[in-house]
Amino acid sequence: MITITTRSIAVACTVAAVAALAGCTPGDTATPTPTPTHETVAPVLEGPDCLIGNWAIGEDQMQAFYDSVSAASGNAVVFAVDGGTILSFDGARYKYEPDLYLTVTAGGVEGLAQLRGTIAGDYTADATTIQTVTDTTDVEYSYSVGGVAQDASALFAGALADAPINGGDYECTADGPIIQFSNGSGHVPVQLVPRVH
């Protein structure tokens, strides 16, 4: 004679409920076979081929670049970046497209600058270095202090209105090329990443 108590029924129900939540039924002992996954890792292109494409330069990378510009000036001018830049290479031509605001602090005076437009030209690259020859500069820039427009020619006469990629070393990485941007007195590495449209 088999005696079934209320306690044994409750335990059986609990086990069944846990088993159901786990996706099996009581008595199943087979361990599910994991489905094999095949992760394909794209090879890192080498040499000038890794430059070709449409790239984004994030705000953090632009900030690091302008921090280096500030350091080169002895921190006489400090920049805070809001925005980014697009940089593209097609094997013969490059295009540098800044679209950013810069909060510029100099001599205790804070101003707001805006850069937007296109700098373009030819480029050549060997296994480690890129050289550019600019033939198009169509960058609009403005500068205001307290909302009052100021003459920006002195501020933008130098490196800020140029594409800072001439004569820099570069390296190919899985994330995208790293190019040494010129800040007027040296170079700083800038990571490019694929542009998301």
Distance of CA 186 to the CA centre of its chain: 22
pLDDT at 67 (0 to 100): 94
The tokens describing 114, both together, are 């805006």
pLDDT at 197 (0 to 100): 72
The answer as to whether 82 is a domain residue is yes
pLDDT at 124 over 70: yes
Give the list of residues 6+ apart from residue 7 with CB closer than 8 angstroms, or none. Answer: none
The answer as to whether 170 is a domain residue is yes
Query: What are the distances in angstroms from CA 150 to CA 108, 112, 141, 154?
Result: 16, 10, 11, 10
Give the list of residues 6+ apart from residue 22 with CB closer than 8 angstroms, or none. Answer: none
Model confidence band, residue 152 (pLDDT cutoffs 50, 70, 90): confident
Count of C-beta atoms within a 10 Å radius of residue 98: 23
pLDDT at 14 (0 to 100): 30
pLDDT at 167 (0 to 100): 79
Task: Tell me the residue range of the domain where 89 lies.
Answer: 47-194
- 42: helix, strand or coil: coil
Q: pLDDT over 90 for what percent of the chain?
A: 48
The answer as to whether 164 is a domain residue is yes
* Number of domains the chain contains: 1
Minimum mean pLDDT range among 37-46, 88-97, 170-179: 37-46
Model confidence band, residue 168 (pLDDT cutoffs 50, 70, 90): confident
pLDDT at 39 (0 to 100): 53
Question: What is the rounded CA–CA span in Å between residue 96 and residue 30?
Answer: 59
Most confident of 30-39, 98-107, 120-129, 176-185: 120-129
The answer as to whether 70 is a domain residue is yes
Provide Rg for the chain, Cα atoms.
29
The answer as to whether 19 is a domain residue is no
With beta carbons less than 8 A apart as the criterion, state whether 81 and 117 touch: no
pLDDT at 194 (0 to 100): 96
The answer as to whether 21 is a domain residue is no
pTM of the shown model:
0.73
The answer as to whether 32 is a domain residue is no
Nearest partner of 170 among 43, 42, 40, 44, judged by Cα: 44
The tokens describing 179, both together, are 């190019």
The tokens describing 67, both together, are 């921090």
The tokens describing 64, both together, are 């690091």
Per-residue pLDDT, averaged over 109-136, amounts to 93
* Reduced DSSP (H G I as helix, E B as strand, rest coil) percent helix, strand, coil of the chain, to 5: 20, 45, 35
